[in-house]
Structure 1
């Protein structure tokens, strides 16, 4: 897979190192030329010098061949603009880093569903640790080809779980509703704004991702036409 990063901070470097080690193609867009020179000797990847929020720079990274665009600079507004430009150019999955949680609702309204907030993630991990739950230990239980994915339920996907007609090796195992987790079975009814947690074989991830993204897009188009 091809993964494009905007910003060459510590998070980018650590993630890029892991991805390169797993055989993925990585491109890092960075406006600081000295930072690029500093990393060139240690990271076996491609670098683009320029403003990652500019269409011409993002287009140069090849959105038609990219599976992910990670916007990971220290500036929330910059990340949001870069994410919107990247999405308009056709990048597959666009992930935006948000440090100020006040922007999270804005990201949702703009359709930037894949937002990460480092401080919130770490604080939840610490709180879970105090409660005796080790999230890192739990993540190690998802081995081999097992994968989790989350979908947001809308008008296209609401209804009984069994009506989703998932592949044989995929199951909705739970839902989040109004901040509460609930176990799910085939008869469970999914409501708009629920988040459904799916456990699936990794081979189904591309088709499921494409399917639910397409359904979300179709639902959005229908809303705009009304």
Structure 2
């Protein structure tokens, strides 16, 4: 398949690399040339610097011959405009847009766009994890990772409040034995507890010591 991807952030770069590895012809568009550094070494497609809704840029990307188009930047307006241009001006049959802010969902629906909302998917998955009390998960929302991990001995005896304040992340739930609960600030962590937490990218290095390998 010939596929054009607009946006080379973490979502776009991973999508483009996966498609390329599967043997598809992939063209990636991003306004920031530095963003292309995120593409893996296995990516063998084409990169173009420019705006994803610019007709000349899309012509250069070969959109008229494309089988599919994905607009996956972290700007909803860009994704909306790019998707509409791909559908209406270039006649691409399969167009998918990323919905970054769930507040804009109604607009996407009114335009009858196929879309994926990472925020909603993560929230729903997190709820299922909390209710079921098992499983491992890693998702991305902007520059925040939603992770599930087992606490190492370094976390044993520490309060939730101390860990969160010192290391810049938020713990949403604790799985201890057969029970799952939402912790309070004074909850004391035990080695072997399983945490579901939201972690900023820059905090991963500090949080890692609390994760059992």
> Please, what TM-score do these two structures have when normalized by structure 1?
0.54
Instruction: Give 1:62 shift.
Output: 2.1
Aligned residue for 2:12? Answer: 12
Instruction: Give 1:111 shift.
Output: 2.0
Aligned residue for 1:93? Answer: 94
Aligned residue for 1:158? Answer: none
Is contact 1:125-1:135 (8 Å) kept?
no
Is contact 2:9-2:35 (8 Å) kept?
no
* Structure 2, unpaired ranges of 5+: 138-213
Aligned equivalents of 2:5 and 2:135: distance in 1? 26
Is contact 2:17-2:40 (8 Å) kept?
no
Aligned equivalents of 1:26 and 1:106: distance in 2? 28
Aligned equivalents of 1:136 and 1:66: distance in 2? 36
Is contact 1:55-1:86 (8 Å) kept?
no
- Pairs within 5 Å for 1:47-66: 47-66=47-66
Is contact 2:101-2:119 (8 Å) kept?
no
Instruction: Give 1:133 shift.
Output: 9.0
Secondary structure of the 1:17 match is helix
CA RMSD across the alignment:
2.4
Instruction: Give 1:131 shift.
Output: 3.1
> Please, what TM-score do these two structures have when normalized by structure 2?
0.57
Is contact 1:29-1:47 (8 Å) kept?
yes
Deviation string, structure 1 residues 194-214 (Cα, Å, up to 9, x no partner): xxxxxxxxxxxxxxxxxxxxx
Aligned residue for 2:35? Answer: 35
Instruction: Give 1:135 shift.
Output: 9.6
Deviation string, structure 1 residues 165-214 (Cα, Å, up to 9, x no partner): xxxxxxxxxxxxxxxxxxxxxxxxxxxxxxxxxxxxxxxxxxxxxxxxxx
Is contact 1:63-1:92 (8 Å) kept?
no
Which moves more between the two structures, 99-108 or 60-69? 60-69
* Structure 1, unpaired ranges of 5+: 138-226
Would you say how many aligned residue pairs link Structure 1 and Structure 2?
Answer: 135
Secondary structure of the 1:35 match is helix
Instruction: Give 1:28 shift.
Output: 0.1
